[in-house]
Chains A and B, each alone.
Chain A
């Protein structure tokens, strides 16, 4: 008879590795992976179009375009989208198809299962984000004012770092939603593309309850000054008063939030009943 493992740190790592590799092999052959790969490199066409069709004297510089695309498209839009498409749907597929029952009846640590899934999501999403950002950077170099030098590469890596932090924060929330609720995609879209956007323009300190607030704080210097957020209504325009968070605090906050949401995800997996019987009197 083959030897079954005894639960210890070693077997915990073995569980994490199994969950990670399994998630990786499944996700890489999914259509949504290809879709996200295409979406992530799509912004490259913008600097190429500008270079080809815009007159040099009127067009934005490569630096401006790169900053705009990195912040608005990659960090603000694609990181939550990757979290929903790769992180959340990965978990949800198993829950909705009830194949999760096969996993829940294995002697695998639920902690390891979630962490393995999260790590696989992080690797895949970072790869896609990285490919997109690098491609966009080199396309912007063609337009000038940004160069493949220390400053340019540093900026690129800083945006990649902020993107990875975004993937962590949004990913942990997505995993938690996937384990906790029956309609995680709807709730995820409302949170990431509704609440996050609104909270960052309405006056007050609601933005502290968003991931975007902390990501913005980690952008390269002067990034925050580019924004002049305001809510325009029929009564008047309300200027958003920004309370800045230092990049260090933002970094720590995102790490803490990631841990909290991952712990919550694990707790929900331990607590929830993922399969319901059809008993007399029910449908």
Chain B
């Protein structure tokens, strides 16, 4: 396994706020999803990998070298930042041209690199227009183009799908997959599970600055499948509802409120079915019932509460 990125007890804090906490991972080549909710530490991880931050503790190595102020490493990495900042009055072409020059290309080569990168993100027609006139999606594409300018070995895409329309999203998915097929390492950061699923089956789950899991998405899916699910039932007679539901063996715990009760079940489909069947017969007034933990956030919470070790 060729290790592209390696961290050892990597931590980063800003004042008293811990942004990344004791992260030790070895990331191989290929497309890797960096998955976690907003504020989890994904961007901090990427910025540490790019050398934009100094580690507060531990170390990070990109292709065996420390990245900070290391132009050898920077020659091999591309970065599409999450933030949306440009010199607005310049054209996309000019913006990319100067970045290509900063990457070490002479004018003629820089021009060709820009045209190639712009073509990959389907922005050739608008490349001479001022960036100020671009839509959010176009700006996003230009950011991706600048990351591809110098043909990097490792590409960091921080929330690249933000603001893209469905067509552009599909194009970007295909681009990321093709980059992976070309043998490049793509770190694809997102807080949306299905976005990551479109491009890779390998993810790093990161939450509250900690890596909770690193592995295949299906294993995480299994975790979602196996962990007790929460169903909230709104009713005026929670005790009566409880009495009826108590016969369901899948229900592990129940919490009461004045007009609702929250049940945890090992098999939500069975429990839903049971609720439907039984309560229609019993004529108990139920206003609504819903699954309260379908989202990724709940998986993170579950992983934290059950102390799943890193590396599934």
Residues of chain A at the chain B interface (Cβ within 8 Å): 1-5, 7, 11, 14-15, 18-19, 21-22, 26, 29, 97-99, 101-110, 270, 273-282
Q: Hey, which chain B residues are within 8 Å of A110, CB to CB? A: 69
Residues of the A chain whose Cβ atoms lie less than 8 Å from the Cβ of B53 = 273
What is the distance, in angstroms, from B164's C-beta to the closest C-beta of chain A? Answer: 20
Known: A4-B75, A277-B43. A104 touches B52 (CB 8 A): yes
Q: Jot down 11 A-B pairs with beta carbons below 8 A, ordered by A.
A: A2-B112, A2-B113, A4-B105, A5-B104, A7-B71, A22-B102, A102-B81, A107-B75, A107-B102, A274-B52, A278-B39
Q: Are A277 and B47 in contact (CB under 8 A)?
A: yes
B61 CB–A CB distance under 8 Å: no
Cβ of B295: which chain A residues have Cβ within 8 Å of it? none
B146 and A102 form a contact (CB under 8 A): yes
Q: Are B109 and A2 in contact (CB under 8 A)?
A: yes
Q: Which of B287-307 contact A (CB under 8 A)?
A: none
Are B101 and A22 touching (Cβ within 8 A)?
Answer: yes
User: What range describes how many residues of B lie at the interface?
Assistant: 35 or more
Residues of B near any A CB (own CB < 8 A): 14, 16-17, 19, 39, 41, 43-44, 47, 50-54, 69, 71-72, 74-75, 77-79, 81, 83, 85-87, 89-90, 98-99, 101-106, 109, 112-113, 146, 150-151, 208-209
User: How many Å lie between the Cα of A280 and that of B86 in the bound state?
Assistant: 26
A105 to B208, CA, bound (A): 26
Select the residue from A274, A275, A277 with max chain B CB neighbours within 10 A.
A277
Distance A276 CA – B98 CA, assembled complex (angstroms): 25
**A281 & B54 in contact (Cβ 8 Å cutoff):** no
The secondary structure that dominates the A interface is loop
CB distance from A30 to the nearest CB of B (A): 9
CB pair B52–A101 under 8 Å, yes or no, is: yes
Q: For the complex, what is the distance from the CA of A56 to the CA of B71, rounded to whole Å?
A: 66
Contact partner, B77, options A19, A102, A105, A279, Cβ 8 Å: A105
Contact residues in B for A26 (Cβ distance below 8 Å): 87, 90
Enumerate chain B residues within 8 angstroms of A278, measured Cβ to Cβ.
Answer: 39
**In the complex, chain B residues whose CB is within 8 Å of the CB of A4:** 75, 103-105, 150
Contact yes or no, B54 A277, CB < 8 A: no
Q: Which residue of B lies closest to A29 (CB)?
A: B89
Please tell me which one of the listed residues B44, B50, B86 contacts residue A279 in the complex, with CB atoms under 8 A apart: B44
Contact status of A99 and B86, CB under 8 A, knowing A1-B151, A279-B17: yes
Do A99 and B17 touch (CB < 8 A)? no
Indicate which residue in A29, A106, A109, A282 contacts B103 across the interface (CB closer than 8 Å): A106
Q: Please determine whether A105 and B52 come into contact, CB atoms closer than 8 angstroms.
A: yes
How far apart are A277's CB and chain B's nearest CB, in angstroms?
5
- Name the residue on A nearest B150 (C-beta): A4
Nearest A residue to B19 by beta-carbon distance?
A279
Let me know if B52 and A275 touch, CB within 8 A.
Answer: yes
If A4-B103, A98-B83, A105-B52 touch, whether A279 touches B14 (CB-CB below 8 Å) is yes
Distance between B211 CB and nearest chain A CB, rounded to angstroms: 15
- Contact residues in B for A281 (Cβ distance below 8 Å): 16-17
Query: What 5 A-B pairs have minimum CB-CB distances, sorted nearest first?
Result: A5-B104, A107-B71, A106-B102, A107-B74, A107-B75
